[in-house]
Amino acid sequence: MDELDQLILAAIGGDERAADRVLSRHYDELRAMVAGMTGEVLRRHYPVEDIVQEVAVKILRSIPTLEVDSDPTRCFRAWMRPVALNVVRNFGRRAKRSLRRLETDMDNDDGPSPSRLERRRERLRRLSEAVQSLSESDRQVVEMHYFRGMTLAEIATELGQTRPAVNARLMRARPKLREWLGSTSMNLSSS
């Protein structure tokens, strides 16, 4: 059994550092897999990196449920594909809903209603509070990625860090934001 197999078994056992290392070693493969699953229409709505982030979070949360045989690496790689496919499908459904809302808004010549504008303002206020609740380093990466539209590579270059380190900070921040936002209908991946 090689080192990667041992890391996968440790990750299944709940070792978060091992899970991070397993994911880091498979990140390029995961990115290529997700890019191959997304079509042009979906990529117009969501950058591939955002989808990869969601898949990575799902993998990190679900890895303790992975069942392996005598070849943990093969099992992990095979397990990644359906996890990624489910996340990509969810993004596709979100994109369809977003398009339907856009069509509805376009049909409404009077523009959004005052109550809808108020709900939008409230969501933005809560999102701002959630971002401010993050540590300085996590907030910086979130703001650069989501508000300034920078890629992980651009952020890594600007901060003098590796792309996997920036990726890890985003993966750490997103669940914190979701927790802060609670049960609201806000979707961190939606525009």
Distance CA 35, CA 180 (A): 30
The CATH code that applies to domain 3-95 is 1.10.1740.10
DSSP string, the chain: --HHHHHHHHHHTT-HHHHHHHHHHHHHHHHHHHHHH--HHHHHHS-HHHHHHHHHHHHHHHGGG----S-HHHHHHHHHHHHHHHHHHHHHHHHHHHHHHHHHHHH-TT-S-HHHHHHHHHHHHHHHHHHHTS-HHHHHHHIIIIIS---HHHHHHHHT--HHHHHHHHHHHHHHHHHHHTTSS--TT--
Report which of 62, 57, 87, 84 is spatially closest to residue 167, judged by C-alpha positions.
57
Any idea where the domains of the chain sit in the sequence? Answer: 3-95, 112-181
Chain segment 107-127, per-residue pLDDT in tens: 555 566 778 778 878 877 787
Q: How confident is the model at residue 168 (pLDDT cuts 50, 70, 90)?
A: confident
Residue 30, SS3 per DSSP: helix
CA dihedral 170→98→94→146, nearest 10 degrees, is: 0
Distance CA 80, CA 30 (A): 8
pLDDT of residue 32: 94
Which H/E stretch holds residue 171?
Answer: helix 163-181
What rounded mean pLDDT belongs to the chain? 84
Report which of 140, 164, 160 is spatially closest to residue 152, judged by C-alpha positions.
164
Greater model confidence, 187 or 69: 69
Fold of 112-181: Arc Repressor Mutant, subunit A (1.10.10)
Same fold yes or no, 3-95 and 112-181: no
Chain segment 1-29, per-residue pLDDT in tens: 899 999 999 999 999 999 999 999 999 99
CB atoms within 10 A of CB 68: 16
- Extract the tokens encoding 108: 């409404």
pLDDT of residue 72: 96
Q: How confident is the model at residue 191 (pLDDT cuts 50, 70, 90)?
A: very low
Q: Is the pLDDT of residue 97 over 80?
A: no
pLDDT of residue 111: 60
Greater model confidence, 106 or 140: 140
Q: Is the pLDDT of residue 73 over 90?
A: yes
- Model pTM score: 0.56
Which of 51-60, 69-78, 105-114, 139-148 is predicted with the least confidence, judged by mean pLDDT? 105-114
- Extract the tokens encoding 15: 């070792």
**What is the percentage of the chain residues whose pLDDT exceeds 90?**
40
pLDDT of residue 190: 38
Contact status, residue 182 vs residue 189, Cβ threshold 8 Å? no
Across 149-175, average pLDDT: 87
pLDDT of residue 41: 72
As a residue count, the chain comes to 191
